[in-house]
Amino acid sequence: MDVKTQNTSDTTTTTMTGSEALIHCLVAEGADLIYGYPGGAIMPFYDELHKHQDKIKHVLTRHEQGATHAAQGFARATGKVGVAIATSGPGATNLITGIADAQIDSTPMVCITGQVGSHLLGSDAFQETDIIGISTPVTKWNHQITRAEEIPEVLAKAFYIARSGRPGPVLIDITKDAQFAEFDFAYAKCEYIRSYTPTPTVNETEIAQAAQAINEAKKPMIVWGQGVILGEAEEEFKAFVEKSGIPAAWTILGVSAIPTEHPLNVGMVGMHGNYAPNVLTNDCDVLIAIGMRFDDRVTGNLATYAKQAKVIHFEIDPAEVNKNVKADIAVLGNSKETLAKILPHIEQKSHTAWHQKFKDLYAIEYEKVIKNDILPTKEGLTMGEVVNLINKQTNGDAIIVTDVGQHQMIGIRYADFKKSKSNITSGGLGTMGFALPAAIGAKMGAPEREVVAIIGDGGYQMTIQELGVIFQAEVPVKIVVLNNEFLGMVRQWQQLFFDKRYASTTMKNPNFCKIADAYEIENQKVSTRGELGPAVEKMIASKESFFLEVMVEKEDNVFPMIPTGASVSDIRLE
Amino acid sequence: MSEVKTFTVNIYTENNIGLLNRISAIFQRRKINIESLSASESEIDDVFKFIIVVNVTEEQMAKIQGQIERQVEVIKAFYHTDEETIFTESALFKIKSNLLFEEPQIQNIIKESQARIVTVNKDFFVLEKAGRRSEIELVHRELKPFGIMQFTRSGRIAVTKTEMPISTLLQRIEESNEVAFGKPQA
């Protein structure tokens, strides 16, 4: 294959084993904090890790899935490539959920798996599995190494592919004999692969067409996604929004690219998004999509989605253009570049009357939903008021990591974000169990920031074993379990669409505080409003990890809601 | 737009183990049957080529093209309709040798279909027929009553009537890279 690499300052070669070479590759790529779990086929590498603890900190998770989510949390909080290590067979297959999650949410991650010796490949050897075959549909790229000589070039490619263009997960499988074999090592970073165009060249005609359509629009609306954050285009995006004066709504993964309280931020689109941006999607005349992919949870019924609008799609991945929604104008390229290029062509506007429509609909949503969620008058605690109290105690400076379900929607709807990269959640795959290990990775990647994991009682028990990492590696993560003793989101659907037949959604939960005790994590359980405020305050004030269990209303629902198959403008408030 | 048509997809790639799996997974995920597949070298040194035939709508085809081109080791994918393509398939028929002499009709079939006898020995002879699917199927239908010991048909191979701009594309990639990173190393 035609791959060009650029030699770093050190071009001399040194004889070493494949395992030691792997260490040098990771160091050269800046991967000094990695997550993983040892086992037979990856032992030579772990032996080298042991010798190089000064260069690379390895965090032992309690399950390989936890290693992938921790690597994802690290990547999402830092913008760097996350690294997860596992052995062959079950170690490798346990990575798959995290890899699939990283693929659909475009998270840069490199997974390294050990493999049985090359002479045993295909023999159904102990702990042999075809991880290349298994991981192919959920990786951006994968490759099996059977000779030590391949290691530098393949690892350089892996990191380059994982982080460039639209980021994604890469899996490298390395046979045990390749880890043991000696060769002459030299490392050069990869900067080019012939068959791979990570970032399309910006087309000036597309920029001009888009600018004209935006300037002529009477009721334009922006929907931005994670592409703004991945492209590190927050400044360019803010300048574009402020100059154009266009109401801007976000997809779940786009949140925090501009602050929650920014006057032009009109909230979240999609199934449990805000009322105004959903309804007005079907009223705007120009819909400007930036770094988002029109997921079905965003669009509702495609047949009735923004049909009146001219659609402009700013996108780095050409395969996303016209995939779900036909773009009248596609602007291909990295959002940082395209937004900077279009800015001089954009006319300064304020769209005052159009903004008023958003404000009017927000007022309706506030009265019918938001007020009752965050400032409830009923006896039982709501998820919204917990999030509201966390906002107050953290001044919106925390990284909020959420799991999947009702608490996720409430958490993201009501969390106050001031900085980019402040929310980490499993968006596309909807992986329950994501939050606890992802929060560990986020806190280790951004130790200066407060990290609060908000988790449901269901998802918490899917990766609860990772409390062991908090215990052993002393990671000061704050954990909030919003306990309604139900798999809440599924229960909500059962109530609304399955005549309240609560099939397998009730949970008899263990004493979560005793479990926290076992890991020596300070903890508290609250059931009343009076206890809640002081408990949240105590949790945030703590310098160490803290577990807070909040017993919330058992059968609260998340609204607004667009039922599956309905149009975005048919969003229900109750 | 929603009419299902036959498309010939030409995929220019790097030579890499596992790439076929990656490409076929794109069709499998969408529950689209691959009608035929062939893999070979291309007109360019070190560039390989898959030719895949599928029956889909043009809208589906365009999306699949995008998904194929997203793969790191795919250089470029093109799709064409039958009208835009010169294509052929090849088939081999293994038949008992005695029939060649005992059934004069077989000789007529060979003559009329312009099939070629590849080899003859005392037990069997092998007939090769290249052409459109319908022509091969016709020969198959005509020979079947006499007994076919073995039958194999290849995937479609095709060239397009218009230019396939892969060489210029590669040159452009090469040049833009030189501008971006300086002269590439040997």
Task: Count the domains in chain A.
Answer: 3
Least confident range from A101-115, A369-383, B77-91, B165-179: namely: B165-179
DSSP E strand stretches across chain B = 4-13, 36-41, 48-57, 74-81, 85-96, 116-120, 124-131, 150-153, 157-160
Residue A353 corresponds to which tokens in the numbers above? 């009357």
Region class of A311: left (phi > 0), else alpha (psi between -120 and 50), else beta: beta
- Across the interface, do B18 and A142 touch by the CB < 8 Å criterion? yes
**β-bridge partners, A526:** A550
Do A56 and A173 have their domain in common? yes
Do A10 and A148 have their domain in common? yes
Nearest 5°: phi and psi at B79?
A: -130, 145
What's the Cα-to-Cα distance from A251 to each of A81, A304, A426, B35, B107, rounded to whole Å? 23, 19, 12, 39, 70
Q: What span, in angstroms and rounded, lies between the C-alpha atoms of A521 and A474?
A: 10
pLDDT at B183 over 50: no
Catalytic: which of A20, A29, A48, A64?
Answer: A64
Choosing from A358, A390, A406, the residue where a domain stops is A358
**Residue in A410, A351, A392 with CA at minimum distance from that of residue A532:** A392
Give pLDDT, residue A10: 53
Catalytic: which of A109, A444, A489, A561?
Answer: A489
| Chain B residues with CB-CB distance to A194 below 8 A | 14, 75, 170, 173-174
Residue A267, domain CATH: 3.40.50.1220
Do A165 and A294 have their domain in common? no
Residue A494 a catalytic site member: no
User: How many angstroms separate the CA of residue B46 from the nearest CA in chain A?
Assistant: 8
* A365 found inside a domain: no
Are domains B4-85 and B87-157 of this chain identical in fold? yes
- Across the interface, do A132 and B181 touch by the CB < 8 Å criterion? no
Residue A31, domain CATH: 3.40.50.970
Instruction: Look at A262 and B100; give whichever has higher pLDDT.
Output: A262
- Three-state secondary structure of A351-388: CHHHHHHHHHHHHHHHHHHHHHHHCCCCCCCCHHHHHH
Interval A199-216 mean pLDDT: 97
CATH architecture of B87-157: 2-Layer Sandwich (3.30)
Do A117 and A227 have their domain in common? no
Do A129 and A87 have their domain in common? yes
Q: What span, in angstroms and rounded, lies between the C-alpha atoms of B137 and B134?
A: 5
Choosing from A193, A217, A251, the residue where a domain stops is A193
pLDDT band of B15, cuts 50, 70, 90: confident
Give pLDDT, residue B182: 45
Q: What span, in angstroms and rounded, lies between the C-alpha atoms of B49 and B155?
A: 13
Give the residue numbers spanning the domain of A470: 379-551
Q: What span, in angstroms and rounded, lies between the C-alpha atoms of A409 and A297?
A: 12
Q: What span, in angstroms and rounded, lies between the C-alpha atoms of A556 and A373?
A: 9
pLDDT band of A202, cuts 50, 70, 90: very high
Percent of chain A past pLDDT 90, that is, above it, reads 97
Q: Which residues contact B71 (CB under 8 A, 6 or more apart)?
A: B19, B22, B23
Q: Using an 8 Å Cβ cutoff, are A300 and A568 in contact?
A: yes
Interval A17-36 mean pLDDT: 98
Mean pLDDT for chain A overall: 96
Could you read off the pLDDT of A304-333 as tens digits, one per residue?
A: 999 999 999 999 999 999 999 999 999 999
Interval A179-207 mean pLDDT: 96
Locate all alpha helices (DSSP H) within A250-351, ordered by sequence. Answer: 275-281, 296-299, 335-342
Q: What span, in angstroms and rounded, lies between the C-alpha atoms of A458 and A389?
A: 22
Instruction: Look at B18 and A119; give whichever has higher pLDDT.
Output: A119
- Three-state secondary structure of A413-482: HHCCCCCCCCEECCCCCCCCCCHHHHHHHHHHHCCCCCEEEEEEHHHHCCCHHHHHHHHHHCCCCEEEEE
* Total Cβ atoms within 10 A of residue A111: 32
Nearest residue of chain A to residue B67 (CA atoms): A319
**Residue in B1, B23, B9 with CA at minimum distance from that of residue B54:** B9
Look at the alpha carbons of A8, A9, A12, A16 in this order and tell me if their dihedral is positive or negative: negative
Nearest 5°: phi and psi at B123?
A: -95, -45
Q: Using an 8 Å Cβ cutoff, are A82 and A141 in contact?
A: no
**Residue in A281, A217, A215, A216 with CA at minimum distance from that of residue A248:** A281
* Total Cβ atoms within 10 A of residue B36: 17
pLDDT band of B184, cuts 50, 70, 90: very low
* A571 found inside a domain: no
Whole-model pTM? 0.95
Interval B39-60 mean pLDDT: 94
Interval B20-34 mean pLDDT: 96
Residue A6 a catalytic site member: no
Mean pLDDT for chain B overall: 91
Give pLDDT, residue A247: 98
Give pLDDT, residue A4: 59
Give pLDDT, residue B186: 35
Do A60 and A187 have their domain in common? yes
Residue A294 a catalytic site member: no
The domains of chain B are located at: 4-85, 87-157
Q: What span, in angstroms and rounded, lies between the C-alpha atoms of B175 and B152?
A: 44
- Helix or strand run (H / E) with residue B167: helix B166-181
User: How many angstroms separate the CA of residue A200 from the nearest CA in chain B?
Assistant: 12
Question: How many contacts (CB atoms, under 8 Å) link A and B?
Answer: 68
pLDDT band of B175, cuts 50, 70, 90: confident
**Residue in A197, A211, A139 with CA at minimum distance from that of residue A164:** A197
pLDDT at A236 over 50: yes
Question: From chain B, which residues contact A within 8 Å (Cβ)?
Answer: 13-18, 21-22, 25, 29, 46, 62-63, 66-67, 69-70, 72-75, 170, 173-174, 176-177, 180-181, 184-185
- Across the interface, do B63 and A322 touch by the CB < 8 Å criterion? yes
Could you read off the pLDDT of B55-87 as tens digits, one per residue?
A: 999 999 999 999 999 999 999 999 999 999 999
To which residue do tokens 């900077």 refer? A340
**Residue in A430, A385, A375 with CA at minimum distance from that of residue A403:** A430
**Residue in B18, B32, B37, B19 with CA at minimum distance from that of residue B64:** B32
DSSP string, A237-277: HHHHHHHHT--EEE-GGGTTSS-TT-TTEEEE-STTS-HHH
Do A446 and A531 have their domain in common? yes
Interval A127-133 mean pLDDT: 98
Instruction: Look at A13 and A488; give whichever has higher pLDDT.
Output: A488
Alpha-carbon dihedral of residues B55, B56, B57, B61, nearest 10 degrees? -110
* A370 found inside a domain: no
pLDDT at A11 over 80: no
Residue A266 corresponds to which tokens in the numbers above? 């009109």
ipTM of the prediction: 0.91
Determine the residue type at A427. Answer: G
Choosing from A193, A220, A245, the residue where a domain stops is A193
- Across the interface, do B67 and A319 touch by the CB < 8 Å criterion? yes
Q: Using an 8 Å Cβ cutoff, are A88 and A116 in contact?
A: yes
**Residue in A571, A572, A478 with CA at minimum distance from that of residue A516:** A478
Do A326 and A421 have their domain in common? no
pLDDT band of B167, cuts 50, 70, 90: confident
| Chain A residues with CB-CB distance to B25 below 8 A | 136-137
pLDDT at B17 over 90: no
Could you read off the pLDDT of A271-303 as tens digits, one per residue?
A: 999 999 999 999 999 999 999 999 999 999 999
Cα radius of gyration rounded to whole Å, chain B:
21
Strand A182-185 to strand A14-17: parallel, antiparallel, or no bridges (unpaired)? antiparallel
Q: What span, in angstroms and rounded, lies between the C-alpha atoms of A572 and B3?
A: 37
**Residue in A363, A105, A145, A336 with CA at minimum distance from that of residue A237:** A336
Could you read off the pLDDT of A380-434 as tens digits, one per residue?
A: 999 999 999 999 999 999 999 999 999 999 999 999 999 999 999 999 999 999 9
- Helix or strand run (H / E) with residue A213: helix A204-216
* A260 found inside a domain: yes
Q: Which residues contact A386 (CB under 8 A, 6 or more apart)?
A: A454, A480, A482, A532, A536, A550, A552
**Residue in A109, A168, A100 with CA at minimum distance from that of residue A135:** A100
CATH number of B4-85: 3.30.70.260
Residue B29 corresponds to which tokens in the numbers above? 């995920």
Residue A539 a catalytic site member: no
Strand A248-250 to strand A220-224: parallel, antiparallel, or no bridges (unpaired)? parallel
Residue-level length of chain B: 186
Give pLDDT, residue A5: 58
Nearest 5°: phi and psi at A218?
A: -100, -35
Nearest residue of chain B to residue A6 (CA atoms): B185
Most A CBs within 10 Å, among B47, B61, B72, to test the A interface: B72
